[in-house]
Amino acid sequence: MNDDDDQNARNDRARRMRNVALALVLGALVVLFFVMTIVRLKGHVFDWQ
Partner 1 sequence: MATAASFALNPRAATVGDFFALLKPRVMSLVIFTALAGIIVAPGGIDPVVAFTALLCIAVGAGASGALNMAYDSDIDGLMSRTATRPIPMGKIARGDALGFGWTLSAGAVTIMGLFVNLAAAALLAFSIVFYVGIYTLWLKRRTAQNIVIGGLAGALPPAIGWAAVTGSLSLAPLVLVLITFLWTPPHFWALALYRSDDYARAGVPMMPVVKGKASTRKQILGYALVLFPVGLLPGAIGLAGPLYVSAAALFGAWFVWEAVAVWRETDVAHEPAARRLFGVSILYLFVLFAALIVERLMGIAPLGHATFGAWM
Q: Say what the alpha-carbon torsion angle 26, 30, 36, 39 is, to the nearest 10 degrees.
A: -150
Distance in Å, CB of 1 to partner 1, minimum:
13
Does residue 14 touch partner 1 according to CB under 8 A? yes
Please give the span between the terminal C-alpha atoms of the chain, in angstroms, as a whole number.
Answer: 69
Distance in Å, CB of 2 to partner 1, minimum:
13
Report the interface residues with partner 1, using CB under 8 A: 7, 10-11, 14-15, 17-18, 20-21, 32, 35-36, 39-40, 43
